[in-house]
Structure 1
Amino acid sequence: MSMEYRMRRTLPSDRAAIIMPVDHGLIFNRIEGLETPSAPFESWAGSDITGFMMTPGQVKQTEAFFARNPQLTRVLTIDTYYDHTQLDGGGSHSLITTVEEAVRMGVDSVKMLFPWNISRAERAALCNRVGKVVTACDAWDIPLVLEPVLIGAPRTEEVVVEEEKVARIAYDLGAHIIKIAFPGEERTRRLVEELQVPLVIAGGPLSGEPAETVDAVAQTIRAGARGVIVGRNIWQRERTAAEKVMSEIATLTRSVEFAD
């Protein structure tokens, strides 16, 4: 399979992607709404999403399901980070599997965190780690989704500005797709125009009213992002409200097409 094939699987050209992340157990352990790690696939596959972001354990447990639903893409999380509550450089990032193993498992792309509120020594080690993963991804023709983030930090103006800067570092390291927390419509548009690498926007933790989530997605799409990564803002809501939000988001994502 080629890089182009897997990129098109991950980010279709006839719409913006909706990828539902359900990989939170790698960091949060048992989390509300994800008590049974394999449950979201059957539950949400028919809601017009394009795929899931998942763990190695979930990939192994759901092989038959995805064989029956080949239209859904699989983004494999290949790393973890501890402790996500530490903001003083006390965290530790590491890979949990390899790019070669991801290809063997048949997924469409791999995803890594790029946490930047860590020590300078760990930043250098992280960049080295990402560089090796990018090299392996290029060798195996599989895209890397890299997520610049100040993990656990409050969404202050300073944090948003810093994450925008770190997105540039992710670009320079060779990320094929950049995933970033929504920095606002103007900053999203600037990142899309300047980096010219597919950008996807993370939905983040459950917060605000459903209309706020839908409005953020609308701004994301207007700004030219190729997709949204939305999980807890959907599956941690009451089911009827969550289905309504997902329907409205799906309509927005089908309002655009991207050049081949």
Structure 2
Amino acid sequence: MVHGKDIRLHRILKNGKMLCIPLDHGISSGPIEGIKNINGLIEQTQDSGLTCFLINKGIIKALHFPPKIGIIAHMSAATSLGPDPNNKILMGSVREAIRLGADGVSLHINIGSKEEPNMLYKLGLVADECNEWNIPLIAMMYPRGENIKNPHERSVVAHAARIGAEAGADIVKTVYTGDIDSFKEVVKSCPVPIVIAGGPKTNSDAEILEMCSDAMKAGAIGVTFGRNVFQHKRPNEIIKALHSIIFEKDSNDQQSKKSRRKSKR
């Protein structure tokens, strides 16, 4: 028997894998380069191999057209102008996400922040709502805050990811540790699928593609890359390259080598 959550997961994944652009930066950072014309970006990239977009509820309402791919409604935020950018507050509900036509919801949790207890409390509540309404929950579990010395340390990343799974997330998004072996341990210790964040803008295509390839080899089911896609000079091309790595196993090494050659030109 197929349940509602299965149907919605099918809309945001392809063959159990994810290639997503998170476009929730408008609240945290403002209308930065790449997302100033967010409707145009979504229309331009939706046929390039993405499985879904991650956007805030107001952007879903402001869309000029129904996207062809899945939509994840992001439900927590803070601004770079506020007193504590690490304190992500709840800005929506699961019912509202469903009314807007979203296929999943996401929350951002900063583990190690002084506001961690409040964020975890909200994560638990939203996880219960998602179970009630059969909608997938993507938990962004970032080691970030006053108590985090090295946000890429294996045990810290593994702890953050495990918290997301234990709290009820269906998919955990977290940072990449920096090497395949250590990230394998993160994946093994997390009982739900993991996707990785792209982090700050990288210096080359080769760098971002290599991180994607290594994460997939370590057992991740995909990536959610923001700035490294929407601020790219040719977003469609980098999406297609990522798609090859994630969905076409035999082309991984060939694609990485090809991208490295291009980046050196």
TM-score for both structures, normalised by structure 2: 0.83
CA contact under 8 A between 1:74 and 1:107: conserved in structure 2?
yes
User: 3-state DSSP class of the match of 1:169?
Assistant: helix
2:53 corresponds in structure 1 to 52
Among 246, 255, 259, the alignment partner of 1:253 is 246
Instruction: Point out where structure 1 has 5 or more consecutive residues left out of the alignment.
Output: none
Measure how far apart 1:65 and its partner are.
3.1
Using the alignment, how far apart are the partners of 1:92 and 1:217 within structure 2? 28
2:92 corresponds in structure 1 to 97
CA contact under 8 A between 1:84 and 1:91: conserved in structure 2?
no
Alpha-carbon displacement from aligned partner over 1:140-170 (angstroms, at most 9, x marks no partner):
00111001113489xx982112233211211
2:26 corresponds in structure 1 to 25
Using the alignment, how far apart are the partners of 2:32 and 2:174 within structure 1? 22
Using the alignment, how far apart are the partners of 1:131 and 1:63 within structure 2? 33
The yes-or-no answer on 1:132 pairing with 2:119 is no
CA contact under 8 A between 2:165 and 2:190: conserved in structure 1?
yes
CA contact under 8 A between 2:22 and 2:53: conserved in structure 1?
yes
2:151 corresponds in structure 1 to 159
Aligned pair in 2 of structure 1 residues 206, 41: CA closer, same or farther (>3 Å)? same
Greater relative contact order (Cα < 8 A, sep 6+): 1
Measure how far apart 1:74 and its partner are.
0.5
CA contact under 8 A between 1:144 and 1:176: conserved in structure 2?
yes
Matches within 5 A, 1:162-201: 162-184=156-178, 185-201=180-196
Matches within 5 A, 1:33-112: 33-62=34-63, 64-66=65-67, 69=68, 72-83=69-80, 91-112=86-107
Q: Which amino acid aligns with 1:250?
A: H
Alpha-carbon displacement from aligned partner over 1:103-141 (angstroms, at most 9, x marks no partner):
11121110110112421xx22222111110000000000
Among 5, 11, 18, the alignment partner of 2:13 is 11
Aligned pair in 2 of structure 1 residues 247, 77: CA closer, same or farther (>3 Å)? same
Alpha-carbon displacement from aligned partner over 1:162-193 (angstroms, at most 9, x marks no partner):
23321121121111110012123223322222
The yes-or-no answer on 1:144 pairing with 2:145 is no
Percent identity between the two aligned chains? 26
Using the alignment, how far apart are the partners of 2:61 and 2:207 within structure 1? 35
Aligned pair in 2 of structure 1 residues 157, 12: CA closer, same or farther (>3 Å)? farther
Using the alignment, how far apart are the partners of 1:250 and 1:135 within structure 2? 33
Measure how far apart 1:52 and its partner are.
0.6
CA contact under 8 A between 1:11 and 1:227: conserved in structure 2?
no
User: 3-state DSSP class of the match of 2:66?
Assistant: helix
CA RMSD in angstroms comes to 2.4
Deviates more, 1:41-50 or 1:187-196: 187-196
CA contact under 8 A between 1:114 and 1:148: conserved in structure 2?
yes
1:205 corresponds in structure 2 to 200
Q: Which amino acid aligns with 1:249?
A: L
Alpha-carbon displacement from aligned partner over 1:178-231 (angstroms, at most 9, x marks no partner):
001212322332222222201111112211211111111111111221111012
CA contact under 8 A between 2:39 and 2:64: conserved in structure 1?
no
Equivalenced residues, count:
244
Using the alignment, how far apart are the partners of 1:90 and 1:20 within structure 2? 21
Q: Which amino acid aligns with 2:169?
A: A
Instruction: Point out where structure 2 has 5 or more consecutive residues left out of the alignment.
Output: 250-265
Measure how far apart 1:18 and its partner are.
0.8
CA contact under 8 A between 1:99 and 1:110: conserved in structure 2?
yes
Measure how far apart 1:91 and its partner are.
4.0
Measure how far apart 1:31 and its partner are.
0.8
Q: Which amino acid aligns with 2:94?
A: V
